[in-house]
Structures are given as structure tokens and as C-alpha cells.
Structure 1
Amino acid sequence: MSVTGYPHTCVFTPGPHQTAAAIGNTGVKVVSTPALIALLEETSADAVAKDLPSGWVSVGTHVDVHHHKPAWPYQEVRCTATLISAEEKRLQFFVQAHQAGALIMSGKHERALAPLSRFERADGKLPEGAPLEFFFDFHSPWCYLAFPRLREIAAAYGRMIVLRPFHLANLIDRIGGRRPLDASPAFVNWFKQDMQDWARIRRLPLSYHPKFPLRPSRALRATLYAVEEGLGEAFAFKVMQAYWSQSLDISDVAILGDLATSVGLDKNACISSIGDEARKLAIVSNTDEAIARGVFGAPAVFADGKLFWGNDRLDMMDTWLASAGERC
């Protein structure tokens, strides 16, 4: 077991899905108390994980913390867990969370040691209800075509959608990925025909912007603001419509501000958010994570840990989710 009195530190960068607004406290854009507690629990678990016998885990049993100051998304939170006692199967930690040098949360956390088999369901079924992670870029018309169907599927299975805007072009450059419009003329002609066929299936008007490709970075960052305000899905689809059916310039901050207003967001706050350095870093972080998790294009959706790529794989994902109770 780890030596008592030795602090173990983990550094996290909370995202918009970890704010108070994201769990129903509309307009409160700070990191939620449950999210901070979860980070402290994760740090405590990590502190002793390497010392546990094979087949054993530590699980949280008690938390007694005080929330001193607000913490902000997109900024590093440094969490420290110090093991202060280890008696048989009971561990006690002193935990702290800091951001920009300020103490955010502190207190005590207790964990118990248990065999992993204790947490395996007898029927072998996986837990249900995990969110669907949607990695997307406005640059891709396929994201526009996929989003309404994704929302239907999420609603049918009671799943939340976690929006993960990322830089598709940067990802393609870094992994040496495929660029369909650089393929042979025959493929490009078929590709555009296929796109229009899918647009008819989805009943969505679709046309390339006269100035395609537009730079999507500002719209991606504005989406993070919309997520914080609890209107991420509505805003993201408005931007997709603007780009792919209305030929609006989504790189224009004034247009993004108008789109924000149309879904009930504050125009000036949206425009201000676009230049925020932390949001720029958050998009980079999403792109890094997408690469690390094997994403090679957009749209990409993770459902119960499995990657589904492309608008035409959503029905396959629907079948996968429907079989959740039968998987072993």
C-alpha cells in the first residue's frame, strides 16, 4: 500500500459538460461540485491503484469536503490526495483541489478495498444510459446530415449527447487521413451524388457554400459557450444549417452572434467567447483526444465505448444500442 503522508497529484482540465449549467443549473458556468468531487475521487483512486493486488479495486465510500471558491472550465485543476490512514480495507485521504494557485475544495475522502468481481453483474449485462459522445466539425456536411438522426437515437434510448467539437482538418493532417475531395474525379462525382441522396433521405436541404471551405474555428469555440449555457445542441445545429443549407458565413462573428440569439443565447456573450484562449485550447484538447481514441474522420460517435464513424453508421449504432441487454 502507498506510504501515508505522501501527496499524489493529478491535473485535469474540466470541460463544458462538467459545469453546473450542464446538470441543470442554467447560466452557472462554473465547474459543478459533483464534478470536482469526482476529480478528487479519481485522484485518490489513482494514488493507490498501482499497489492493489490483482483483481482488487478501491471504491469511494464517504466524502466530506468544503467548496471554497468557484472553479472555471477550460482551466487546469490540480487535485492532490494524501493517504492519511490505511486500516485493513479502509483508506482515508486528505484531498485538495487548486486552480491558478487558489484553494477550490478541500476535505476528507474515504475508500474501501473490494474484489472487482463484486461489481460484475450476474447476468453479464453492461450498464445502460452512458452518454453518446459526438465528435464533429462544421466543415463536414456529413455532421449536418447525421446530427438530427443522432438526436433521435439518443432520445429513443434515453441517452445524453456530449458535444465534442474538434478540428477535422488538423486531425486529417496529423494522421495522414483521407480527403475525399482530393480523390479521382469519378469518386468525387459519386461522393457528391451520395451526399445529395442522403440529404433527401434525411429531408435536409444541402448545398456547398460558394466560398467553401470556410474556417470553422470560431463556430467551434462558440459551440463550447452554447454548451455551457445548456443550448449546445440547438446552437450547433443552427450553425450546421447556416453553413450547409443557407450559405451563411459561419466564420463571421456577427452571424454567429445572430445564430446565438435565434436559440436564446446572449449575442454579445457568444461573440466574446469566441476569442477566449481557454476555449481555443479546449478545441485543441478535443482534437488530441479524438486522435488518441482512434477517430479518423467526422462525424464520429462513441456509444458504450465503441466508435461509429459516418452518417451511414448511425443505424448500425441504433442496432448496437438496442442489443445492449444481450451483450456479454
Structure 2
Amino acid sequence: MSKPTLSFWFEFASTYSYLTAGRIKSLAEKEGILIEWKPFLLGPIFKDQGMSDSPFNLFPTKGKYMWKDLERRTEKYGLPFSKPDTFPQNGLKAARITIANLDKPWVHHFILETYKVEFSQKQDISNVSVLSQILKSLGQNPENIISTSESDENKNKLRENTEQARKLGIFGAPSFIVNGELFWGDDRLEDAIEFLKSRS
């Protein structure tokens, strides 16, 4: 009998997706469930909502709260944190690398390390050299991986993920889909897992 599966929709520019990426794997192993990693782009979805920037920038009071909240929650989860100089960052290349390598055992390490350099080391994840260094640290060949990720076929996969997210009614990240139902936010991860287990 196959294990129940939770779809984890994440965007590399998302602060709260960092929290989930830092704890979802160990939590899934503990709860006996599988994770379906679903990178997508929030930019087109925000545009649908009439936003040209992160709501945390559009609404400064909300943004100020978010950074303080992130500081508290990264400490709670044992994740490193230092507010980046640029927010939001462009996670397009990182998302393409991820979606091209979802079947690789190192991909979740790449995801988490990318979040860490973005949200604790003040590095720019849109920079190919930054992503190359992460891949090298995981024992991978950056040139081959990045080249493959930039193929038209792979670019289309990311576009399809983003369109699927739109159709599912996803409006932010992280989001979780369980039996067609949407749970939004890192603080809903446990609820999503509980819901999944109760219906499996």
C-alpha cells in the first residue's frame, strides 16, 4: 500500500516557504507520508490579483511584522536567518533547476540550501554563480544541470506548474493540496498532514 502524499507548492522568493522547506522532510518521515515537491512562480498569480510586488512590500506594516515573525520562527525551527538586502528575489532559475531534477536524491538539499543562502547569507539566488556554488557543494556538475534546466521542455514544465497552481486556487506560498483541498501557510502544514492522514 502506497503512502499518502502531500503536495507542497513553494516559491523561492517566499519567506514562509523557507520555513516549510526547512522542516517538511523530517516531519513527513515522522508522519509516514510522501512529499510531492511543486515549485511554481508567484509573480503571474500576484499579477492576476492586481499586484506588481510582494504584499509585504506593498503594505509596509505587514512587511515589518513578517520579518519579525520570520526571525522568531527561524529561531524556533533552528534555521539560520539574516534579512536579505533585496526582497523579493528572482527565483526563476532555481525553480527551473528544481523542476528538472525532482527525481534526484539531492534536490531537496538544493532547495533548502538555496533558501538558506537567500535568507541567511544575503546572496542573490538569481545569480548563476550562486546557484552553481550550491550545486558544487552537493557534489553536482553545475554546467550540465543549469544547461538542462534552461531547455524549452523544462521551461514549459515550470509554466505548467504555475498554471496548475492558478487553477487550484493557490494565491500564495507555501500552499498544500490534500485531496483537492487547499491549505495555505507554513502554520497550516500540520493541519494539512492531519487532514491527509484522516482521509487515507
Worse overlay, 185-194 or 297-306? 185-194
Q: 1:130 to 1:175 in 2, by over 3 A?
A: farther
Say how many residue pairs are matched.
Answer: 198
Counterpart for residue 157 of structure 1? 31
Counterpart for residue 172 of structure 1? 46
Greater strand percent: which structure?
A: 1
Deviation at 1:190, TM superposition (A): 2.0
Residue 252 of structure 1: which of 127, 145, 151 is its match?
127
Q: Partner of 2:164: helix, strand, or coil?
A: helix
Give CA deviations for 1:55-109 in whole Å, capped at 9, x if unaligned: xxxxxxxxxxxxxxxxxxxxxxxxxxxxxxxxxxxxxxxxxxxxxxxxxxxxxxx
TM-score calculated relative to the size of structure 1: 0.56
Counterpart for residue 217 of structure 1? 92
Q: 1:274 to 1:155 in 2, by over 3 A?
A: same
2:172 and 2:50 mapped to 1: Cα distance? 11
8 Å contact kept, 2:6–2:196 = no
Counterpart for residue 319 of structure 1? 194
Structure 2: runs of 5+ lacking an equivalent: none
Worse overlay, 142-151 or 266-275? 266-275
8 Å contact kept, 2:28–2:34 = yes
Letter of the structure 1 residue corresponding to residue 79 of structure 2: L
Deviation at 1:285, TM superposition (A): 0.7
Q: Partner of 1:213: helix, strand, or coil?
A: coil
Residue 277 of structure 1: which of 137, 152, 175 is its match?
152
Q: Partner of 1:227: helix, strand, or coil?
A: coil
Structure 1: runs of 5+ lacking an equivalent: 1-126
User: Which structure has the greater CA radius of gyration?
Assistant: 1
Q: Check if 1:232 corresponds to 2:101.
A: no
Identity of aligned residues (%): 28
Higher RCO, Cα 8 Å, sep 6+: 2
Greater helix percent: which structure?
A: 2
8 Å contact kept, 1:129–1:157 = no
8 Å contact kept, 2:21–2:111 = no
Residue 181 of structure 1: which of 54, 57, 61 is its match?
57
8 Å contact kept, 1:207–1:245 = yes
- Structure 1 vs Structure 2 CA RMSD: 2.1
